[in-house]
Amino acid sequence: MKILSVVGARPQFVKLAPIDRALRDAGHEHVIVHTGQHYDPALSQVFFDDLGIAAPDLNLEVGSGSHATQTARMLPGLEDAIERHRPTWVLVYGDTNSTLAATLAAVKIHQPVAHLEAGLRSFNRRMPEEHNRVLTDHAADLLLAPTPTAMAHLTDEGLASRSRVVGDVMADVLLRVRDAVRADPPVPVGISADAVADEYFVATVHRAENTDDPDRLQAIVDGLAALPAPVLLLAHPRLVATAARFGIPLEQGSIVVAPPQPYPTLVALVQDARGVLTDSGGLQKEAFLLRVPCTTLRTETEWVETVELGWNVLDGDLSAVAELATRPTPAPTDAHPYGTGDAAGAVVRELSAAADATALARGAA
């Protein structure tokens, strides 16, 4: 099999790592196309280096822009790459503009598309990610769902016949890196030893609905500033830019502003934290897998299992950030809704099994 993966943003590089490894271990050809949606070394290159991912075969270097501009800029380069490689599958990841662009480019030239992390829903149609994932699921040929909950959403939308549950590849990489950093802890980037000497929290904020709304951003900063221990705010460039534009200083009260961290460093910081506060989907799951209480700064989550099992709470109106983040530690659980670290192997098996059937169906059409 020849797989052409399209990635562009930070969480996609994390998901790419176990897939790249599993494909190469099984002797398949893997072509990696980076759209260039994320271009800062701290959001991109460092993940390839630390997670041992092969260098991209192609980088389209599209950079930042409005949704339309960014997505449109990706399309010709993706079409060209897919046309040139004619892979068995174009593999797209998650819910970013890179995911949607690759899906559109591929289906228009009748190239089979598999969607990893299919079936996630927030049911909030104001989120760009919700448009991206719904449209991708309905256009793609093979839907690889991380959980039974995601599978149920696909079934509800009439997509069951081309959907499979494979587990969550983010658990694969998290569990591997967790064990590695326990043996050899990495040094945090741009964070003083004092800030992590005792109890501390880890926070990230990057979603448009939080960063681009001055009232919500102010409420988040106020909540984090009021926490009773240092809050390492790992600041995405979008957060830094909009806070400056609105005149909201980030370094207030307990907040310690720090740069985005490499993945192993993030895992090491989270596993020793008192709690996590975030609007990131990946970090909600990482906190759960490391059994660190999470407070989610959103009105809904796609990762409902983390809430049902008691390790994640939503603070949609941001009225109780400090109170929720200091709640007692939840009851222990040995549930593993995201699998036990072997999802990438299941993905490769499903791609392989579905390849012949898809080729046949398209040939007959």
Least separation in angstroms between residue 285's CB and ligand UD1 is: 13
Least separation in angstroms between residue 95's CB and ligand UD1 is: 6
Please answer whether residues 250 and 231 qualify as being in contact, where contact means their C-beta atoms are separated by less than 8 angstroms.
Answer: no
Least separation in angstroms between residue 133's CB and ligand UD1 is: 9
Q: How far is CA 335 from the centre of its chain?
A: 21
Query: Rule CB under 6 A: is residue 37 a binding residue for ligand UD1?
Result: yes
Q: Binder to ligand UD1 among 55, 64, 299, 335 (CB under 6 A)?
A: 64
Query: Rule CB under 6 A: is residue 97 a binding residue for ligand UD1?
Result: yes
Q: Binder to ligand UD1 among 57, 59, 128, 189 (CB under 6 A)?
A: 128
Q: How far is CA 73 from the centre of its chain?
A: 22
Query: Rule CB under 6 A: is residue 259 a binding residue for ligand UD1?
Result: no
CA angle 49, 16, 104 (to 5 degrees): 130
Q: Binder to ligand UD1 among 1, 39, 54, 195 (CB under 6 A)?
A: 39
Least separation in angstroms between residue 8's CB and ligand UD1 is: 7
Q: Binder to ligand UD1 among 25, 29, 40, 156 (CB under 6 A)?
A: 40
The size of the interface with ligand UD1 (CB under 6 A), counted in residues, is 19
Show the binding pattern over residues 333-352: x = contacts ligand UD1 (CB under 6 A), - = does not. Answer: --------------------
Query: Rule CB under 6 A: is residue 284 a binding residue for ligand UD1?
Result: no
Q: Binder to ligand UD1 among 21, 30, 38, 153 (CB under 6 A)?
A: 38
Least separation in angstroms between residue 150's CB and ligand UD1 is: 16
Least separation in angstroms between residue 168's CB and ligand UD1 is: 16
Q: Binder to ligand UD1 among 5, 96, 210, 278 (CB under 6 A)?
A: 96
Q: 9 vs 171, which CB is nearer to ligand UD1?
A: 9
Instruction: Compute the Cα dihedral for 2, 171, 129, 240 and give only its sign.
Output: negative
Please answer whether residues 257 and 231 qualify as being in contact, where contact means their C-beta atoms are separated by less than 8 angstroms.
Answer: no
For residue 166 the two structure tokens come to 């494979």
What distance, in Å, lies between the first and last C-alpha atoms of the chain? 22
| CA–CA gap between residue 95 and residue 81 (Å, rounded) | 20
DSSP state, 157?
T
| CA–CA gap between residue 184 and residue 48 (Å, rounded) | 19
| CA–CA gap between residue 30 and residue 23 (Å, rounded) | 7
Show the binding pattern over residues 143-172: x = contacts ligand UD1 (CB under 6 A), - = does not. Answer: ------------------------------
Query: Rule CB under 6 A: is residue 241 a binding residue for ligand UD1?
Result: yes
Give all strands (DSSP E) within the chain, no chain letters.
2-7, 29-34, 58-59, 89-93, 113-116, 142-145, 163-165, 201-204, 231-234, 255-258, 275-278, 294-296, 312-314
CA angle 240, 249, 40 (to 5 degrees): 15
Please answer whether residues 278 and 203 qualify as being in contact, where contact means their C-beta atoms are separated by less than 8 angstroms.
Answer: yes
Name the catalytic one among 34, 206, 236, 336: 206
Q: 38 vs 153, which CB is nearer to ligand UD1?
A: 38
List all residues 6 or more positions away from 9 whose beta carbon is below 8 Å from its beta carbon.
Answer: 37, 38, 43, 94, 96, 98
Q: How far is CA 107 from the centre of its chain?
A: 23
Query: Rule CB under 6 A: is residue 9 a binding residue for ligand UD1?
Result: yes
Q: Is 67 a catalytic residue?
A: no
Least separation in angstroms between residue 323's CB and ligand UD1 is: 27
Q: Between residue 201 and residue 220, which ones bind ligand UD1 under the rule CB under 6 A?
A: 206
List all residues 6 or more positions away from 292 whose beta carbon is below 8 Å from its beta carbon.
Answer: 270, 271, 273, 274, 275, 276, 311
Q: 68 vs 183, which CB is nearer to ligand UD1?
A: 68
Give the residues lining the site for ligand UD1 (CB under 6 A): 9-11, 37-40, 43, 64, 95-97, 128-129, 206, 236-238, 241
Catalytic residue annotation: 206
